């Protein structure tokens, strides 16, 4: 569809100029006169009772303005996205559940003084036995982290009858997969600045969801939600890790109590220790197929370690369970997924939200099945891939925008020309291999209402102001939303200004998570623009003496739609008719300029403002069977990775990744490519190098020298391929891509490694040490 002027164009990002000039204001860049600097005093034990805390010496230090402890939290003293289980400041005789739990809060005239004061705080903690293994945590004898047990959530999915069917399967594959804890490692550590503006606690923070933050602040400060204003500062990456509250409540408390501006910026190690992580998972998966390769049954048990607090854990495990089949129709499915509290760091939302773990499992299973059946990885996927009319494991029918097959075909075609067909040929100690992996990903929150709202005001000069709650975290949502509005009004990108994620100004957009904003906030701004446009169209119709349905909007004009005959007539009489005077073939005005139409609206007392909100069509899932419609639409993808394994050093180099993603409609192709390239790179880290190492609840890899994210030298050639299977309910057909870009990467790399050296890794990350150990085992067995 090339009918669009702005949608589908790789327009420049709205915030890019400020960012390249160093002018974009990240939270840590904001300064107010008289500003205080805050530090958080935290627990060094993973499980205990806070018996006493003595802050008198810290308070006495010159330059320290205030020290707060649990008793100073006026409100609920609890935070959390789904379960309000995290203390803002642990109170006396209450529980510490992880290293890093906040015990006291300091504000001082300088950061150095605040740091010095930290050392003067004395605590007495009764250390409790702790549990760090999620399987152990599920037993009755494990230390109880919460009064009602350590199992946070159980999700069941039941479709068909697996037991009967497994006996009929020609081939069954059963394996246990383990995935590691990983860190978001956004380059900007958590930061915020707060101050009182009148009686309103106002703050600028790095966040993915200002409206959630405001509720957490208000409830804990015990003030009205109208007295809290959270504004998203330019946010330096988030990937799910800035969904949890970090500095917000602490800043609110300090600003309210001191009545001075206050800043709190985490150090890198503080960020790594205290931010949520990707859930480490243990996945037992049994998959059966008939002799042709058609999947018949899947049985799967998943245990996720959610650490000390729930964060997004209950939502993550639901998504893990729902996506466990992969993008394949399996008639008989039984899935049991548990998310369990331990005294480890909290796991929450991270790009992919529980799906990369299970994709590693189901995509390994697919390749193993294919090999046993003597068919290709592509064949088994094509044979089982969802198509319109397929029914998922939750019993939801996929009716349209099901792009998994095109992504399989497109990657295969591209890989055929890009990837050396001599992959498996040995080159000294180095072996090459290729691997395929696919994924599906439901757009929006799982089986829950998750609306977004927007206001659009078409101004007198034909420019538009968009108010959206949608936090742009660098992925470019503000630009995408502006493109949608520009397209609706037929105006240029330069004519749209987006004000986003400010609870004092914008409506709630929900979280920038679940790859939901293009679809949900995109629909909201489109509906808002359409409401304003309705007034315009009615006015233009009156001006042109036609009915509103005869009016088309575009190119800063409102015009009478032409039939083919009229078009020809117009072309013929271009020379004679004075079209600029508005003379039409019928003798009526042909068109009116947008600004003139707006002026006419004003002179007749009409404002061109619109509001819109959109909530995806979902249902809750049955607690016993998991049946329901968890999402309104899904993204699909296939990636093919080519790797080179050095059998002497165990090192793995990813040479190329071909990544085809069904995004519905690419509103901004270059931004989508950026998501795919970034996602593949993050997925590469997940596959090969990244692991948060924890010993007895303590993070050992607490800096970027020990926690290894990919550098520019580690990246493969990435070939992003955009597949557009338009989603009927999406804005211009769009769905989402942010998380899908990472989901299949680790699985594709693992499959490629198998192809290269014949070793099936069932645990991530696949480090050189693990490769060498396995190669050694094989060598020993052969001796």
Partner 1 sequence: MSKEVICFILNGQKMEIEVEPSLLLIDMLRNRLGLTGTKMGCGEGECGACTVLLDGKTVNSCLILARQVEGHEVLTVEGLGTYDKLHPLQDAFIAEGAVQCGFCTPGMLLSAKSLLDENPQPTRNQIAKHISGNLCRCTGYVKIINAIEKVAKSD
Binding site for partner 1 (CB under 8 A): 10, 12-13, 15-26, 28-29, 31, 184-189, 234-239, 265, 267-268, 473-476, 670-671, 673-674, 677-682, 703-705, 709-713, 715, 718
For residues 264 and 270, the answer to whether their CB atoms sit within 8 Å is no
Whether 640 and 747 have beta carbons less than 8 Å apart is answered as no
Q: Is the Cβ–Cβ distance between 281 and 178 less than 8 Å? A: yes
Calpha distance 239→512 (Å, rounded)? 9
Query: Between helices 517-544 and 594-603, what is the axis angle to 10°?
Result: 70
Min dist CB 238 to partner 1, Å, is 8
Decide whether 270 or 488 has the Cβ nearer to partner 1: 270
According to DSSP, residue 270 is labeled H
Of the pair 187, 429, the CB lying nearest partner 1 is at 187
Cβ 140 to partner 1 shortest distance, Å: 41
Q: How far apart are CB 204 and partner 1 at their closest, in Å?
A: 13
The minimum distance between CB 745 and partner 1, in angstroms, equals: 10
Q: Find the Cα–Cα–Cα–Cα dihedral 654, 326, 692, 216, rounded to 10°.
A: 130
Of residues 343 and 681, the one with the C-beta less far from partner 1: 681
Q: Hey, what are 526's tokens?
A: 């489109």
CA distance 208 to 312: 13
Cα separation of the two ends of the chain: 62
Smallest distance from partner 1 to CB 51, Å: 33
419 with 642: CB under 8 angstroms?
yes
Question: C-beta of 33: minimal distance to partner 1 in Å?
Answer: 12
Burial class for 324, CB neighbours closer than 10 Å (0-12, 13-18, 19+): buried
Q: Minimum distance between the CB of residue 494 and partner 1, rounded to whole angstroms?
A: 14
Q: CB-wise, 77 or 274, nearer to partner 1?
A: 274
Q: Which is nearer to partner 1, 710 or 733 (CB)?
A: 710
Q: How far is the CB of 300 from partner 1 (least distance, A)?
A: 31
Q: Is 461 exposed, middle or buried (0-12, 13-18, 19+ CB in 10 A)?
A: exposed
In the complex with partner 1, which residue's Cβ is closer, 112 or 429?
A: 112
Task: Check: CB of residue 482 under 8 Å from CB of residue 466.
Answer: yes
Tally Cβ neighbours within 10 Å of residue 417.
8
Nearer to partner 1, 591 or 691 (CB): 691
Gap between the Cα atoms of 680 and 513, Å rounded: 18
In the complex with partner 1, the residue whose CB is nearer, 155 or 242, is 242
Q: For residues 524 and 612, is the Cβ–Cβ distance under 8 A?
A: yes
For 259, list phi and psi in degrees, rounded to 5.
55, 30
Identify which of residues 526 and 702 has a Cβ nearer to partner 1 in the complex.
Answer: 702
317 contacts 153 by C-beta, under 8 angstroms: yes
Instruction: Give min distance, CB of 649 to partner 1, in A.
Output: 19
Q: Which of 572, 476, 489, 568 is nearest to 525 (CA)?
A: 489
Least Å from the CB of residue 720 to partner 1: 9
Please say which residue, 168 or 717, places its beta carbon nearer to partner 1.
Answer: 717
Q: Please give the order of strands across the beta sheet that includes 452-458.
A: 496-500, 464-468, 452-458, 609-614
- The b-or-e profile of 710-745 (16+ CB within 10 A means b, else e) is beeeeebebbbbbbbbbbebbbbbbbbbbbbbbbbb
Measured from the CB atom, is 581 or 705 closer to partner 1? 705
The C-alpha atoms of residue 55 and residue 123 are separated, in whole angstroms, by: 9
Minimal distance, residue 26 CB to partner 1, in Å: 7
Please say which residue, 235 or 320, places its beta carbon nearer to partner 1. Answer: 235
Q: CB of residue 148 vs partner 1: minimum separation in angstroms?
A: 37
């Amino acid at each position: 569809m090339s009918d669009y002027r702005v949608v589908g164009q790789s327009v420049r990002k709205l915030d890019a100029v400020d960012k390249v000039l160093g002018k974009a204001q990240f939270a840590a860049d904001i300064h107010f006169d008289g500003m205080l600097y805050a530090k958080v005093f935290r627990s060094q034990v993973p499980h205990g009772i806070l018996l006493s805390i003595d802050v008198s010496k810290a308070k006495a230090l010159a330059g320290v303005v205030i020290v707060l402890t649990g008793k100073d939290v006026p409100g609920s003293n609890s935070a959390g996205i789904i379960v309000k289980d995290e203390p803002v400041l642990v109170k006396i005789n209450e529980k510490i559940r992880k290293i890093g739990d906040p015990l006291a809060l300091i504000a001082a005239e300088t950061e150095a003084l605040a740091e010095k004061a930290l050392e003067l705080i004395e605590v007495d903690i009764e250390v409790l036995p702790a549990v760090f293994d999620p399987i152990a945590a599920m037993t009755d004898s494990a230390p109880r982290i919460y009064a009602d047990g350590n199992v946070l959530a159980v999700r069941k999915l039941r479709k068909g009858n697996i037991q009967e069917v497994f006996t009929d399967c020609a081939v069954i594959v059963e394996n246990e997969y383990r995935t590691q804890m990983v860190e978001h490692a956004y380059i900007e550590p958590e930061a915020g600045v707060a101050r009182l503006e009148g009686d309103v606690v106002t703050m600028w923070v790095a966040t993915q969801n200002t409206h959630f933050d405001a509720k957490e602040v208000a409830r804990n400060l015990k003030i009205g939600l109208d007295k809290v204003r959270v504004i998203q500062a330019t946010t330096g990456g988030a990937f799910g890790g800035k969904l949890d509250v970090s500095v917000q409540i602490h800043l609110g408390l300090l600003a309210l109590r001191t009545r001075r501006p206050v800043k709190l910026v985490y150090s890198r190690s503080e960020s790594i220790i205290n931010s949520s992580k990707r859930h480490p998972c243990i996945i037992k998966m049994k998959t059966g197929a008939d002799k042709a390769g058609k999947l018949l049954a899947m049985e799967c048990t998943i245990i996720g370690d959610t650490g000390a607090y729930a964060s997004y854990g209950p939502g993550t495990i639901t998504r893990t369970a729902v996506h466990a089949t992969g993008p394949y129709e399996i008639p008989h499915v039984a899935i049991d997924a548990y998310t369990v509290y331990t005294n480890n760091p909290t796991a929450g939302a991270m790009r992919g939200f529980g799906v990369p773990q299970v994709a590693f499992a189901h995509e390994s299973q697919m390749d193993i099945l294919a090999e046993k059946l003597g068919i290709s990885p592509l064949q088994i996927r094509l044979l089982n891939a969802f198509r319109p009319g397929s029914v998922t494991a939750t019993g939801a029918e996929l009716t349209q925008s099901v792009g998994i097959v095109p992504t399989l075909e497109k990657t295969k075609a591209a890989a055929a020309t890009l990837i050396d067909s001599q992959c498996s040929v040995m080159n000294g100690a180095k072996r090459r291999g290729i691997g395929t992996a696919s994924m599906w990903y439901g757009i929006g929150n799982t089986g829950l209402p998750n609306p977004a709202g927007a206001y659009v005001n078409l101004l007198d000069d034909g420019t538009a102001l968009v108010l959206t709650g949608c936090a742009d975290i660098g992925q470019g949502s503000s630009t995408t939303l502006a493109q949608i509005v520009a397209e609706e009004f037929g105006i240029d990108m330069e004519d749209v200004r987006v004000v986003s994620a400010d609870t004092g100004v914008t409506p709630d957009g929900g979280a920038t998570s679940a790859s939901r904003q293009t679809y949900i906030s995109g629909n909201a701004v489109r509906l808002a623009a359409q409401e304003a446009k309705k007034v315009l169209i009615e006015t233009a119709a009156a001006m042109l003496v036609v009915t509103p349905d005869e009016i088309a909007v575009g190119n800063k004009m409102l015009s009478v739609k032409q039939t083919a005959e009229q078009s020809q007539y117009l072309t013929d009489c271009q020379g004679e008719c004075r079209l600029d005077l508005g003379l039409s073939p019928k003798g009526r005005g042909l068109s009116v300029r947008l600004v003139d139409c707006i002026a006419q609206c004003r002179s007749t007392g009409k404002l061109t403002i619109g509001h819109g909100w959109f909530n995806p069509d979902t249902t809750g899932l049955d607690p016993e069977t998991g049946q329901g419609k968890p999402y309104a639409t899904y993204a699909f993808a296939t990636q093919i990775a080519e790797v080179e394994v050095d059998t002497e050093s165990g090192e793995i180099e990813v040479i190329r990744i071909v990544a085809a993603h069904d995004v519905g409609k690419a509103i901004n192709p270059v931004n989508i490519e950026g998501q795919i390239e970034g996602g593949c790179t993050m997925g590469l880290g997940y596959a090969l190098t990244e692991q948060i190492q924890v010993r007895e609840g303590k993070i050992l890899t607490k800096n970027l020298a020990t926690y290894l994210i990919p550098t520019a030298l580690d990246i493969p050639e990435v070939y992003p391929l955009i597949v557009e299977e338009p989603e009927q309910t999406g804005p211009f057909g769009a769905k989402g891509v942010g998380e899908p870009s990472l989901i299949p990467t680790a699985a594709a790399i693992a499959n490629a490694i198998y192809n290269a050296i014949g070793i099936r890794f069932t645990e991530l990350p696949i480090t050189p040490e693990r490769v060498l150990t396995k190669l050694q085992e094989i060598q020993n067995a052969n001796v």
